[in-house]
């Protein structure tokens, strides 16, 4: 046993030859006690001593706990030192030193594990199968202790899921399915080590309360594997992300939006650096940082009111290919006479057929394909407009139109614009003072407008590090 297990090729689908393997993979895991019993129980067939030896040589240690390979499937069991010694004794290893020996057989094995099979980190890693991997930057040894158990795609129909997604997203449905199809294909091929990690845009689901955003996230999570809420890490409230490292799907589900632009920018930076970079820095409290490549997708769910949309990062050119924004519509619920439990049971039963369709039947339209991400990002125009209206730079432009109309078109420095807007006689004096809170805020917003609204604001010259802006009338 080397920690890497055989697995089913999901892209080719199940065959008669691997039906037993499929059934075994879907069998619920037994209790910790029964797993310990399975490890300790002597094998009745020939060669059991060799099997015990192979088991022992695949035990690893991370400085605190010991990780034993499961015998009934992929993965590792986490044991204390006391547990490990007890199981070694139950496997027939002696606990007392022999004549002229300093260490018992149990202690010799423990010492060998500590010295030769030490790992710098152990835990689940999104999109990776169980086994040892190496941090290519630091050379650290990392042990992946469990892996996603993907459902087996099965040909069939999925009318409930199809109706639900079509009603929720309307004419955006094919854009969403393109994202799902390219993501699922990459996950399967990445797990099979047939493809490198392919980044994909973060997905924002924006719509009224109780329209089905959370249900759609449940479907996505069931398909991709494991899920963790990532909001605090995404906005920089914490740097610890060890729990997120083991989840294929990161979510920010109906969290309260923040007006603090720094937090929104931090979310944008996390999307760029973590979903699109070659590696991610993993941090766990009390442990040395490590570098890994988790297979991640991010879904954000928020209401579509202006104050709720502030959970999203600032929308600019750098986010065009990194954030998809879908407008969700309120609709009649599928299976209206069913209970919530009955409805989910029907949806869950259809997911294998939905996966099969995404893997084998759905064809991404040519205009939606992207060489880097598989499927292009999509932004609903209503959401783009709503987010743009919240941009403080656009609010500055509105104040310029109100207070400086008689002076436009014209050329101004940022200081001149701020002085005109905050003059006691200006109609914008109070709003401008609230908007321009720092000495460089006006210049920052004008430079942004020169980039996003070049028909209204352009940088005409720079002297001594000070820009001069030409501002035109709003026709």
Which CATH number do you get for residue 430? 1.10.10
User: In the structure, what pLDDT confidence band is assigned to residue 474 with cuts at 50, 70 and 90?
Assistant: confident
- Domain's final residue, options 325, 360, 387: 387
Position 53 confidence tier, pLDDT thresholds 50, 70, 90: low
Q: State the DSSP string of 144-201.
A: E-----PPPP-----HHHHHHHHHHHGGGHHHHHHHHHHHHHHHHHHHTTSS------
pLDDT at 316 over 60: yes
Q: Looking at the structure, tell me whether residues 378 and 399 fall in a common domain.
A: no
Query: Is 153 contained in some domain?
Result: no
Mean pLDDT of 444-472: 92
Pair 231, 285 in one domain? yes
Q: What confidence score (pLDDT) does residue 255 get?
A: 54
Q: What percent of the chain has pLDDT over 70?
A: 87
* Whether 399 and 355 share a structural domain: no
Q: For residue 27, is pLDDT > 60?
A: no
Confirm whether 195 is domain-assigned. Answer: yes
Phi, psi of 125 (to 5 degrees): -135, 120
- Please write the tens of the pLDDT for every residue from 149-167: 999 999 999 999 999 999 9
pLDDT tens-digit map of 384-400? 888 887 788 999 999 99
- Do 362 and 411 fall into the same domain? no
Q: What local confidence, expressed as pLDDT, does residue 41 receive?
A: 39
Query: Whole-model pTM?
Result: 0.81
20-29, 88-97, 381-390, 426-435: segment of lowest average pLDDT: 20-29
* Of the residues 334, 357, 387, the one at which a domain ends: 387
381 and 396 share one domain: no
Residue 97 domain flag: yes
DSSP structure string for 220-237: HHHHH--EEE-HHHHTTS
Which letter does DSSP use for residue 256 in this model?
P
β-pairing verdict for 369-370 and 374-375:
antiparallel
Considering the domain boundaries, does residue 157 fall inside one?
A: no
Taking only the tens place, the pLDDT of each residue in 96-148 is: 998 888 899 999 999 999 999 999 999 999 999 999 998 777 788 999 999 99
Check pLDDT > 50 for residue 320.
yes
Whether 322 and 197 share a structural domain: yes
Do residues 265 and 414 share a domain?
no
d(CA 7, CA 189): 12
Highest mean pLDDT: which range of 172-176, 193-197, 470-474: 172-176
* Domain presence at residue 140: yes
Whether the per-residue pLDDT at 28 is higher than 70: the answer is no
Same domain, 177 and 38: no
Tokens of 29: 């895991």
Structural contact between residues 130 and 208, judged by C-beta atoms closer than 8 angstroms: no
pLDDT at 32: 33
What number of other Cβ atoms are within 10 A of residue 78's Cβ? Answer: 15
Q: Which of 301, 264, 278 is nearest to 199 (CA)?
A: 278
What span, in angstroms and rounded, lies between the C-alpha atoms of 99 and 415?
Answer: 88
Phi-psi region of 151 (alpha: psi -120 to 50; beta: other; left: phi over 0): beta
pLDDT, tens only, 258-308:
657 788 889 999 999 999 986 888 888 888 888 889 999 999 999 988 878
Considering 195-199, 391-395, 447-451, 463-467, the range whose residues carry the highest mean pLDDT is: 195-199
pLDDT over 80 at 44, yes or no: no
Give residue 97's domain range.
Answer: 16-144
Q: Please state, in angstroms and rounded to a whole number, the distance separating the CA atoms of residues 291 and 136.
A: 8
Quickly list DSSP for 367-397.
GGEETTTEE---B-HHHHHHHHHH-HHHHHH
d(CA 376, CA 322): 9
Instruction: Give me 245's structure tokens.
Output: 């490292």
User: What pLDDT digit, counting tens, does each position of 335-382 carry?
Assistant: 999 999 999 999 999 999 999 999 999 999 999 999 999 999 999 999
For residues 273 and 350, state if they share a domain. Answer: yes
In a domain, 439, yes or no: yes
b/e string for 97-123 if b means 16 or more Cβ within 10 A?
eeeeeeebbbbebbeebeeebebbbbb
Whether 39 and 172 map to the same domain: the answer is: no
Q: Under 8 Å CB-to-CB from 357, ≥6 apart: which residues?
A: 158
In whole angstroms, give the CA distance from residue 252 to residue 258: 13
Helix (H, G, I), strand (E, B) or coil at 81: helix
C-alpha span between 174 and 172 (Å, rounded): 6
Q: CB–CB of 182/175 below 8 Å?
A: no
What is residue 305's predicted lDDT score, i.e. its pLDDT? 85
CATH number at residue 191: 3.40.50
Please check whether residues 92 and 213 belong to one and the same domain.
no
Last residue of a domain, one of 362, 387, 412: 387
- Residue 1 maps to a domain: no
* Inside any domain, residue 2: no
**φ/ψ bin of 351: left (φ > 0), alpha (ψ from -120 to 50), beta (otherwise):** alpha
Domain count, the chain: 3
Co-location of 250 and 345 in the same domain = yes
């Amino acid at each position: 046993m080397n920690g890497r297990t055989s697995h089913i090729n999901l892209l080719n689908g199940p065959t008669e030859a691997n039906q037993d393997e499929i059934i075994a993979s879907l069998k619920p895991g037994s209790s910790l006690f029964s797993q310990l019993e399975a490890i300790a129980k002597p094998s009745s067939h020939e060669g059991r001593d060799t099997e015990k030896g192979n088991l022992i040589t695949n035990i690893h240690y991370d400085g605190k706990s010991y990780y034993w390979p499961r015998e009934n499937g992929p993965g590792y069991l986490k044991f204390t030192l006391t547990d490990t010694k007890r199981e070694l004794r139950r496997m027939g290893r002696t606990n007392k030193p022999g004549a002229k020996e300093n260490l018992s057989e149990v202690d010799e094995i423990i010492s060998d594990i500590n010295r030769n099979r030490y790992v710098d980190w152990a835990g689940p890693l999104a999109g990776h199968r169980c086994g040892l991997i190496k941090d290519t930057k630091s050379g650290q040894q990392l042990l992946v202790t469990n892996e996603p158990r993907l459902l087996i795609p099965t040909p069939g129909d999925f009318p409930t899921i199809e109706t639900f997604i079509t009603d929720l997203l309307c004419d955006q449905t094919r854009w969403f399915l393109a994202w799902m199809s390219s993501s699922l294909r990459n996950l399967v091929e990445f797990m099979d080590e047939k493809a490198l990690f392919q980044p994909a845009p973060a997905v924002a689901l924006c719509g009224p309360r109780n329209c089905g955003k959370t249900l759609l996230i449940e479907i996505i999570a069931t398909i991709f594997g494991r899920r963790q809420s990532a909001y605090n890490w995404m906005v920089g409230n914490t740097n610890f992300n060890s729990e997120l490292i083991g989840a294929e799907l990161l979510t920010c589900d109906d969290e309260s939006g923040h007006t603090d632009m720094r937090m929104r920018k931090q979310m944008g930076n996390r999307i760029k650096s973590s979903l699109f970079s070659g590696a991610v820095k993993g941090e766990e409290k009390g442990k040395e940082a490590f570098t890994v490549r988790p297979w991640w997708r991010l879904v954000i769910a928020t209401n579509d009111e202006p104050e709720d949309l502030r959970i999203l990062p600032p929308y600019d050119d750098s986010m065009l290919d990194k954030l998809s924004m879908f407008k969700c519509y309120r609709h009649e619920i599928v299976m209206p006479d069913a209970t919530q439990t009955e409805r989910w049971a029907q949806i869950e039963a259809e997911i294998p057929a939905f996966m099969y369709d995404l893997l084998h039947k759905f064809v991404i339209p040519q205009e939606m394909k992207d060489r880097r991400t598989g499927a292009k990002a999509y932004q609903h125009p209503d959401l783009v407009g709503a987010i743009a209206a919240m941009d403080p730079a656009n609010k500055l432009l509105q104040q310029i139109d109100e207070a400086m109309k008689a002076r436009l078109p014209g050329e101004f420095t940022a200081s001149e614009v701020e002085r005109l807007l905050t003059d006691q006689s200006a109609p914008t004096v109070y709003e401008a003072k609230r908007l321009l809170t720092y000495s460089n805020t006006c210049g920052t917003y004008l430079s942004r407008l020169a980039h996003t609204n070049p028909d209204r604001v352009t940088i005409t010259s720079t002297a001594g590090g000070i820009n001069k802006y030409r501002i035109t009338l709003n026709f």
